[in-house]
Amino acid sequence: FPGMLSNPRLVSVLGTLNVVMNQNVTLSCRTDSGSPPVRYTLFKNNQKVATVNTTDLTPGFFKLTISSASDTGGYKCKAEDSSSRGGKYSNSLTFTLLEPISKPLLSSPTSQAKKGQNVTLSCLSENGSLPITYIFFKERRNISPPVKMQKREAAVIFLLINSSSDFGTYKCRAENSFRNNTKYSNSFNFTLAAEERNHSQHLIISLGLILLLLIIGLALAIHFLVIPLYKASE
């Protein structure tokens, strides 16, 4: 029966608005009431895309290919029937383009540290749809909870170099909502600061000299004291 044209509903047949590059999608535009036939027109950012005519109140379908970021939206459809003036517009629809993440870069403002020093590590993927979740590791051991970044910014953690084991190999992992796309960073190692190395080298040299002097002293004592006493006792 004829009725007043209602605002149409625009939905993705996929049931999700998450898409990947070059994916084919179908939009369905449907009004629940009106006077057939019904004409559906799809717009993207107020620019006409396509028109579909139906003889009843069945939906109008629009097939699209998401080949670039500009194809994600915003979409609206317009419904017009035999009795309406100006037609009715639907809700707006925008897809979210899922982009695989690139290999993250693990870095620090300094690569040299000394014991007792606080340092930072930064992990960043230059490409990939947001949000991106980062996790930091040392020698394959998780050293941070997941850090979810909503912006294109590096995840940062703070560390205390407290012992020799803290100079080990560090890595980070990045992942987003793109399926089966987890990437690990480069390896990063802190090295002992030059003054610390010099101090250690000086200490080793000093101990070596002390040991050498002890050996020389012992040799001299044997030569001038032990041997004469032994000969005198014969």
Residues 59 and 109 in one domain: no
> Domain boundary residue among 38, 64, 97?
97
Locate tokens 């014991």: which residue? 115
- The confidence score (pLDDT) of residue 83 equals 83
Q: Which of 110-119, 188-197, 204-213 has the highest mean pLDDT?
A: 110-119
Domain that holds residue 151: 105-192
Let me know the angle formed at the C-alpha of 14 by 8 and 16, rounded to the nearest 5 degrees: 85
- The confidence score (pLDDT) of residue 75 equals 97
Closest residue by Cα to residue 12 from 66, 48, 49: 66
Domain count, the chain: 2
Other CB atoms within a 10 A radius of the CB of residue 127 amount to 11
pTM, entire model: 0.63
Give domain status of residue 231, yes or no.
no
User: The CATH number of the domain where 138 resides is what?
Assistant: 2.60.40.10
Please state whether 154 falls in left (phi above 0), alpha (psi between -120 and 50) or beta. beta
> Domain boundary residue among 176, 192, 208?
192
Summarize pLDDT for 98-109 with one digit per residue, the tens: 999 999 999 999
